[in-house]
Structure formats: structure tokens, C-alpha cells
Structure 1
């Protein structure tokens, strides 16, 4: 039986999710854990793994765009009109919420597959908050704020800024990508501990390739004039919200790449946890712990929608397009995360019950 483009995209999304879930469980890949290890514990290996993933994602994604295989301009990240304040504020909320919940949405899915029941609460609350911000009670306020602060930007990517110097589009793309990729690789491999961690190196390479793989699947394999699919890649805020809605109302909805990826991440983590003996049930230590975790999940759901993505959706996928808006959102995410880990607004460790 020959699959049509939609079925092929769904299957590929499931496979990408399965790989991400397995790699995420085995390597601990997570921006929040990376920042905590780097800022608080002096362990820079995880943040180098994230930097390498970003380098690979940018290099591979820009190669696909340069070869004309994927039109990244059709993604949500490269729109000519966007609100810089809303993107930055959304990033702040997401970053701080990530610290409160001890991980982002993708990390919660991975840990849920390992039997972490705290992550079940995070996933459900994040999904509800995100759906409320996308289409529910919070949506009118978000839309009004965007409309009041949005601006049309002709140079909405780093390559378009370089093109103002008289460079061609192809040269601008290649130069921008090369400079950022080289800087990220130098940062990653300058750390001796990271160079001695083949597992972390492999995780960074694989996750970066998965981002490019998502673009290839939706932008090339899914490029059907009669039944096109949205051009997207790894991201988790809206897909987690869509997954919960699909679980409740599947007869009135259709599967998409994001939902397939979310299911794949959970299944990949679960299978890996069972096969490696890492599966075990664990819950909250206290009601206060649960409230803080749920509050963080709500901030991630609201902030992730405002920022057009999460630490993966903007931090890797959005950044792989070299979109100006992604740099703004990621700056907010990093600042919000740093505020939660250090300084006056630092999230204090919970006492063991």
C-alpha cells in the first residue's frame, strides 16, 4: 500500500518523536538542566550538548533551505509582522516556569515515559494553559496585546540583515549560518569534559538532525499541492495542547505532525525506560511541590504560546531558521531561566517532606 503525503508525514513524525524520546531519556537533554548544571553546579557538559544540537540544526536546516528542498519562509517563525515585546515576555514566562516545573514540556514527556507522575501534572496543566492562550479565555488578551505592539519588519532574519551590505541571498545565508555554527561548535568542544562524553556529543548531533528532519518531512515530503501540511519541525507547546484536545475529541479532529511527535516522544521514552530498567513510579513530595510544579506548567503554557515556542520550538527549531523573532524569544527564555536559577527571584529548593 502506497502512503499519501499526510500519512507519510505522520509516520515520520512518530519516528522522530520515538528517537527524541529515547535520546532525551538516555542523555538528559534539556535546556533547564543544562543551565542549572552550568550556572549552579559548574558542570557544562549538558549546555555544550545543547549548543552542538543548535549548531547541527542550523547547519542542516540552512542547507535544506539553500538547496531549495524546504521553504522555511512558510513556517511561523519567518513572518514579516510580529510583536517583539510579546515574544520576549512569553520567553521570560516560559523560562521562569521551566525552572518552577524543573523542566520544559519535552522533558516532562520524556520523564512521564519513565514513570514520573509529576510530569503527568505538568503535561496536563501546560496543555490546558496553552489551549486557553491559543483559543480560550486568555486568547483575547493575547491577541489584543499582539495587535497593540506588533510591527512589520522587512529584515526578519539574520541573513536578510547581512543582505543589506550588498551580499547575495545565498551568500548571506551561508555566511550567517557559518559564523553561528562555528561559534557554537567552538564553545561546545572547548570544554574538556564534553570532549570526553561521547554520549552527550551523540545526543547533540542526533537532536540537531531531528530538527532538520522535521523540516524535511513537512516541507519536502509533505509538499502536496492538493493536500499540503504546515511546514514545521520539533516544537512542543501547541502540539501538547493539540494532543490533549485530540485525546478528548478525536472524532472531530485530525492527526498532525505535532501530535504524532508528542506520542512518539512518550512512547520512545517509555520503551527505553522499560528496556534499560529505568522505569519506576515517583510522585510529589508535598502539596507545595505540586502547586509550584503546576504553576510553572501554566507559565510555560501561556509563555510558550506568546513566544511561538519553547526551549526546543524556539531554542532549536526557531533558531535553525535564523529568524530575528527567535533570537528575541530565546533571549527571554534564557533570561527567565537565569532569573529562576540565580539572583533575587531564584526558585528555592523544596525541603524534603
Structure 2
């Protein structure tokens, strides 16, 4: 009843934006303090190490699985209603886009979510890369690059007019997703123990996964009381970055979950960086040339839109509901990132993301 009252007072769009703001703030704080980043984990693994960055990524991924699958078992969320599952998925888009995104995040020295977090702390390289990412994502969504995205995505799509639920396709019990999440969490905690990761960082890494589940549950709850159709979604950065960019270019702005999410992540990361005394204006110095960062951001913008999500949107958010194309995109991001790191590893020393 409280949610109904909130919707009656401020409206469905502002409520969705508020839920995005809450989700994003939790994500931003947790990601900044844990230094969560898929690119960092991929580079570490490509160099033959199973260190702290991989442990953090695995803990985030497993936490998202546990929370989301647990919410489904409790009836707080139904993945069948998620936007990602309700439309056809693209296998070809997941492969091509995933490889492009993986290569791009290594070139840019950070995945799209990490760039937003770093931008909030004063990293100008991430600001420029993030803007390029958002522009290319918008061009891929409805601009000059959209016909190419459509053609590549249409090469191989899922059957039945919906994305594939891997658990259902494999005829696995409903609790199998939760069990898999717990198993990966145990592996992550063992790696954390070996790498002597402190408890605060582990808690914040888990917080990133919790933010993904929070977004799913909040938007699902809103969809059940809203008069107009509401998208059931959670944390992702490709589409929301493109939508947020258009807020500054068009009027009137559409207030929705995406806008609140981006604002929340930025605010959360800013708060966390200030709390940790890590706010610092940084220029373009460092081992990543601006040219590489710009190319990488462009690859992530097109690749993320083609793949149906970024390292967070497909890699964690889509993975947490076992969307088939999301898992394939995540796998290809790892392959694209590792291949790029191996090809470039001898020519540069990469700074930590």
C-alpha cells in the first residue's frame, strides 16, 4: 500500500526514477569502495593470476545470483517479466558485441560502469571516455549506426519471440540458480582468503550484486501497481547512458529508471570517494593513451548496444536471471578482453582500474 501511495503522490515515472536513484546510489558506493571492474578481473586472469580483482568480480557475480534467485523463490521477483527476457535475444549480437565490448574495455582501461565511477572521483580520462561511450551508444540505438546494429543482431536470434532462460532450457530445478550462486561465492571467498582481502571490501563487493537484485525487485514491484506498463529492469549502462545523454540535448526529458540510475551511480561514487578521501582531479597522464581510451569507449558503445548490455547489464544483471544471450555475451567479453590484453600486454604496463 505504501508503494501505491507513493505512485499516487509523485507519479509512475518519478517513482521509477527514484528507484533507479536508490539502486544507482547503492551500486556507486559499493563499486567505488570495492573497486569492482570486469576489465580488471579479465586482465588479471589473462596474466595468469587469480588475485583480488578476480575474487571481487566473482563475489559480486555470485551475490547477484544468490539475491536474485532467492528473490524469485520468495515470490518477490519474476524473471519472466523482465524486459531482457520478454523480447527476442540476439546470439550474433551477443558474440560480436561481446567481443567488441571486451576489447574496448581493455583499451579504455575500464568497463563502462567503472568509467562512470571513476568520473565521479575526478578522473578526466574517464569523463571523456564516458561521453564517447554514451554518444556511440546513442548512435547505435537510434542514430547513424543503428542500421548496422540491426543487421548484425538479426543474423541469429533466439526462437519463440523471447530470450532463452538457461535454467528452463536445461530443465534444471528452480533452486539450481541459487545453488550455483552459492558455489561461486565459496570459490570467491576462498580466493579472497588467499589474497587477504579485508572484510570491508568483501562487503562492498557483495553490495554491487545486491544493487542488481534491488533494481530487479523494485521495478518488478512497481510494475505490479502501475497503471501504465513499466519496464522490469536493473543496473546496466549502455542504454541508460544513451538516454541520459539525450536529457541534455532534448526537452522535455523523460523521467524514468535509467535517468535515476546514472545519477545515483555518480552520486554514490562521489560520496564514497569523498568518504575515503579519494577525490582527486586527474588528467590524461598514465599508461593508457587517450587514443586507445577513445577507441575503446567507441567499441564499448556499439558493442554494448549490440550485445544487449554492458559488463554490468549483460554480465551481471542479465546473468543473474540466466538470460541465454547475456551469458554468451559475458563469455565473449572475457574472450575479447583476454585476447586484447595478450596482444597488447607486451607493449604497455596497464594501471589498475
- Whether TM exceeds 0.5 here: the answer is yes
Partner secondary structure for residue 170 of structure 2: helix
1:271-319 CA deviation, whole Å, 9 max, x = no partner? 2323332111111139981111011000000000011111111111000
Pair 1:3 & 2:6 matched: yes
Q: How has the CA–CA distance of structure 1 residues 269 and 41 changed in structure 2, closer, same or farther, with 3 Å as cutoff?
A: farther
Partner secondary structure for residue 336 of structure 2: helix
Q: How has the CA–CA distance of structure 1 residues 288 and 346 changed in structure 2, closer, same or farther, with 3 Å as cutoff?
A: closer
Q: Give the paired residue count.
A: 342
Q: How has the CA–CA distance of structure 1 residues 278 and 229 changed in structure 2, closer, same or farther, with 3 Å as cutoff?
A: same
Pair 1:264 & 2:238 matched: no
1:180-226 CA deviation, whole Å, 9 max, x = no partner? 21331232122223564212311222111111100011111343341
- Rounded Cα–Cα distance in structure 1 between residues aligned with 2:236 and 2:26: 14
Q: How has the CA–CA distance of structure 1 residues 67 and 27 changed in structure 2, closer, same or farther, with 3 Å as cutoff?
A: closer
Matched with 1:100 is 107
Matched with 2:232 is 231
Contact in 2 for aligned 1:16/1:214 (Cα 8 Å): yes
- Rounded Cα–Cα distance in structure 1 between residues aligned with 2:163 and 2:260: 33
Q: Normalised by the size of structure 2, how large is the TM-score?
A: 0.89
Unmatched tracts of structure 1, length 5 or more: none
For residue 73 of structure 1, the aligned residue among 72, 75, 80 is: 80
Matched with 1:124 is 131
- Rounded Cα–Cα distance in structure 1 between residues aligned with 2:350 and 2:202: 34
**Deviation at 1:52?**
1.5
Contact in 1 for aligned 2:287/2:350 (Cα 8 Å): no
Q: How has the CA–CA distance of structure 1 residues 200 and 100 changed in structure 2, closer, same or farther, with 3 Å as cutoff?
A: same
**Deviation at 1:55?**
1.5
**Deviation at 1:331?**
0.9
Contact in 2 for aligned 1:37/1:44 (Cα 8 Å): yes
Unmatched tracts of structure 2, length 5 or more: none
Matched with 2:339 is 339
Q: Normalised by the size of structure 1, how large is the TM-score?
A: 0.89
Contact in 2 for aligned 1:57/1:316 (Cα 8 Å): yes
Pair 1:26 & 2:42 matched: no
Residue pairs, 1:267-346, within 5 angstroms: 267-285=267-285, 289-342=289-342, 344=343, 346=345
CA RMSD, 1 decimal: 2.5
Q: How has the CA–CA distance of structure 1 residues 351 and 78 changed in structure 2, closer, same or farther, with 3 Å as cutoff?
A: closer
Contact in 2 for aligned 1:77/1:325 (Cα 8 Å): no
- Rounded Cα–Cα distance in structure 2 between residues aligned with 1:19 and 1:39: 30
Q: How has the CA–CA distance of structure 1 residues 186 and 283 changed in structure 2, closer, same or farther, with 3 Å as cutoff?
A: same
Contact in 1 for aligned 2:93/2:308 (Cα 8 Å): no
